[in-house]
Amino acid sequence: MPVTPTDTLRPIRIIAARRWLLLLLVACLVALPAIGRAAPPSAGDDRVIVVGGDHYHPPYEFLDEDGRPAGYDVELTRAIAEVMGIEVRIELGPWSEMRNKLESGEIDVLEGMSYSEARDATFDFAPPHAIVHQSIFARRGTPPVERLEDLRGQEVIVQRGDIMQDMLIERDLGAKLFTTDTHADALRALAAGQHDYALVANLPALYLSRELGLTNLVPVAHPFSLRYGYAVKEGNADVLAQFSEGLAILKNTGRHQAIYDKWLGPLEQGQGLPWKRLGLIGALASGLLLLILGGIVVWNRLLKREVASRTEELRRQQQQLIQADKMSSLGVLVSGVAHEINNPSGLLLLNLPVLRDAHADARSILEAHYRDHGDFPFGGLPYSRMRDEVPSMLDEMLEGTQRIKRIVGDLKDFARQGSPELGERLDLDEVVKTAVRLVDNSIRQATDRFETDYAGDLPAVWGNAQRIEQVVINLVLNACQALEGRDQGIRLTTRYLADDRAVILEVHDEGRGIDPAALTRLTDPFFTTRRECGGTGLGLSVSAGIVREHHGQLDFASQPDRGTTVTLTLPVASAADDVTSHQDDR
């Protein structure tokens, strides 16, 4: 058979096709690793982020009675997951084990780790969400120390893998180290007479000492404080960015502060005065005062004489009751004020403007570096993002510190024994605002829905600012105690009644309400609907007396399960009152 040109070319074409297929296969094999590297898990995928922590480090993180994760760190992690739309699984275990799991990549992030330069070489840190104060604990009677260097030659207990173990080893202070799995084990060993000192975080140690009844331990030194926040294995920038951004959102919305106050606020307050003991003394004093009052009443009924002398005595007793009720209210208020808050507030007010000016001076240098070298890390976030955030954060911190100073000043004014004279010109709006600031902590604990509607430009009234504040505080605290859930609200409204020449304050709550039969007795001395909860029945009685002194009126409207509205009415100061007042001044 003759051979055609097509038959001659067919084997050549087949060989060429095979070569092209071989080259294509080799190219695909070379490209596969690059494709795998080019598609890491995105922030928006469904991957579960594993968050680790210490299983017994209260109040920061611990397993509750049901074996479920709880504490400040845990609630903060869940809040970040909520606002960032990510799914997390929280795993708590022995601290040294969890730290090893982070290094090996078995978990993605630790929700609470103290920062140090040595750790920064292995881990990347988010901006801190707390400051942890480290303390040296000792048994009572042990010679005190002031610095870490004083531990040379001493037997010191630390938690295994904790920052304090790292630092003592890094500084080579010559202390004899003994490690335990938890802070609790360290404190138990010290309380039992083992070794000399324990180097632990201050708040967890105070919490555990109280819970475990370790009354023979005391903090003898506070050598330093450390930044405490989320940490990831070095290079895991995606996860770190999500937690840093979520934390920033929580801080800006105030939710971070609410979580902080819930878990850490009571312990910080508890480092101050022994409130339980003061409460017991106050209760005994109140009981003695009531006994004296009862004796006076019986004495008056039996003797029926010396009317003028007894009238003066009753007036004195009334002033004592007003002051006793005022101190009772003050006991509720001071629970929300940190111990010796004026000293740290003063430092903040002094240092924050300096830091703000220092940042302003350094900004031109930072901007020049940014222009020449591009973006760079600044406080755990890119400088391009932090350049405008830092000044606003410093301003917010300064504003918050000034607010703390105002609240403490209001509290001191309220606690100070005032003059019984009623010769002040008052702006009811300002009096109510001051009272609200004083009970802000009680309001935030009682409800998520607190509203105010101030009229503005109210006419002045004559009276005593401290006494009217006392009335408003009693009304707001009663409203808080009437609520049965945080979803129920409280609303304060002020307005001017031109026809009646009076200003009014309405305090409305959505609580349990009052039985109609009890409405007419609310201002009777010692009448209370909350006796089983410790009510004395003096608050509204004293408030009604103060309102009568100001020629005002206190009205109540309520229905069971529908809430209560209390209306305070005060007459407006007239021009004639002003003339009389000026004549009295002359």
Question: Which of 39-53, 223-237, 293-307, 345-359 is predicted least confidently?
Answer: 39-53
Q: What is the pLDDT of residues 495-540, one digit of tens each?
A: 999 888 999 999 999 988 888 878 777 777 666 666 555 455 566 7
C-alpha to C-alpha distance for 382 and 122, rounded to whole angstroms: 20
Q: Are residues 395 and 455 in the same domain?
A: no
Give the closest residue to 137 by CA, choosing from 191, 185, 95.
Answer: 191
C-alpha to C-alpha distance for 92 and 58, rounded to whole angstroms: 12
Q: Are residues 309 and 374 in the same domain?
A: no
Q: Are residues 455 and 573 in the same domain?
A: yes
Q: Are residues 436 and 576 in the same domain?
A: yes
Q: Are residues 493 and 370 in the same domain?
A: no
Through-space distance between the first and last CA atoms of the chain, rounded to whole angstroms: 143
- Structural domains of the chain, count: 3
User: Is residue 464 assigned to a domain?
Assistant: yes
Domain that holds residue 511: 421-581
Question: Which of 29-43, 114-128, 249-263 is predicted least confidently?
Answer: 29-43
CA atoms within 13 A on the CB side of 508: 12
User: Is residue 495 assigned to a domain?
Assistant: yes
Q: Locate tokens 């103290």: which residue? A: 114
Which residues, other chains included, contact 43 with Cβ-Cβ below 8 Å and sequence gap of 6+?
A: 86, 238, 241, 242
Q: Are residues 577 and 520 in the same domain?
A: yes
Q: Are residues 536 and 403 in the same domain?
A: no
Environment class of residue 130 by beta-carbon count within 10 Å: exposed (0-12), middle (13-18) or buried (19+)? buried
Q: Are residues 427 and 406 in the same domain?
A: no
Q: Are residues 433 and 521 in the same domain?
A: yes
Answer whether residue 76 shows pLDDT above 90: yes
CB 496 within 8 A of CB 503: yes
User: Is residue 487 assigned to a domain?
Assistant: yes
Q: What is the pLDDT of residues 301-319, one digit of tens each?
A: 777 777 776 677 676 667 6
Q: Are residues 435 and 329 in the same domain?
A: no
User: Is residue 560 assigned to a domain?
Assistant: yes
Q: Are residues 445 and 563 in the same domain?
A: yes
Q: What's the rounded mean pLDDT across residues 159-184?
A: 89
Output the six-digit token pair for 399.
Answer: 């504003």
User: Is residue 1 assigned to a domain?
Assistant: no
Helices (H), 271-381: 275-303, 307-334, 342-373
Query: What CATH number does residue 528 fall under?
Result: 3.30.565.10
Q: What is the pLDDT of residues 555-568, one digit of tens each?
A: 989 888 889 999 99
C-alpha to C-alpha distance for 559 and 522, rounded to whole angstroms: 14
User: Is residue 56 assigned to a domain?
Assistant: no
C-alpha to C-alpha distance for 97 and 440, rounded to whole angstroms: 42
Return the percentage of the chain with pLDDT > 70, whole number.
76
Environment class of residue 421 by beta-carbon count within 10 Å: exposed (0-12), middle (13-18) or buried (19+)? exposed
> Taking all residues of the chain, what is their mean pLDDT, rounded to a whole number?
80
